[in-house]
């Protein structure tokens, strides 16, 4: 598996679209961290079970609230990868490799991860890149 880091030349509409996805990742990570901490205090300790419960709560309750309707218009891969990042953060914490996960801030680097669930390469010929479930950018 490999990753490619590219600088994109985005117009205002595309930059706004990317910023929405970065904010979506931050909101999902922070909600997941909050729910995970709350469940831990209630006595549920298994990371995999708790993360699965967090996914259920976010999917079945939070995303169906009228004030969270904007989440349904963004990529589900960003949502899934934010929860995978949260799970990895707690795994590193349990192994003693990192401190307890902290809430993501708006001021920190705004980023998000998108992968293709079917394993296809994302680079197109020429100077464009296709990001799964988002669009094609130059």
pTM of the model: 0.78
Query: CA nearest 86: which of 38, 48, 45, 133?
Result: 48
Distance, CA of 116 to chain centre: 14
Mapped onto helix, strand or coil, the DSSP state of residue 3 is coil
Domain ranges of the chain: 12-103+119-137
Sign of CA dihedral 37, 54, 27, 88: positive
Hey, what are 29's tokens? 């990570």
* pLDDT tens, residue order, the chain (138 aa): 566 666 777 889 888 888 888 888 898 889 888 988 888 777 766 666 777 888 888 888 777 888 888 888 887 888 888 888 888 888 888 888 988 888 877 777 777 777 766 655 456 556 666 666 666 666
């Amino acid at each position: 598996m490999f990753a490619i880091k590219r600088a994109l030349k985005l117009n205002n509409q595309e930059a706004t679209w990317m910023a929405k996805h970065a904010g979506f990742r931050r909101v999902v990570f922070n909600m997941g961290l909050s729910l995970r901490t709350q469940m831990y205090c209630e006595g549920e300790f298994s990371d995999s079970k708790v993360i699965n419960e967090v996914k259920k709560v976010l999917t079945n309750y939070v995303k169906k609230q009228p004030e969270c309707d904007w989440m349904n218009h963004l990529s589900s891969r960003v949502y899934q990868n934010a929860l995978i990042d949260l799970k990895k953060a707690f795994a590193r914490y349990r192994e003693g490799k990192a401190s307890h996960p902290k809430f993501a801030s708006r001021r920190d680097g705004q980023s998000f991860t998108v992968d293709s669930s079917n394993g296809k390469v994302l680079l197109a010929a020429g100077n464009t890149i296709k990001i799964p479930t988002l669009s094609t950018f130059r």
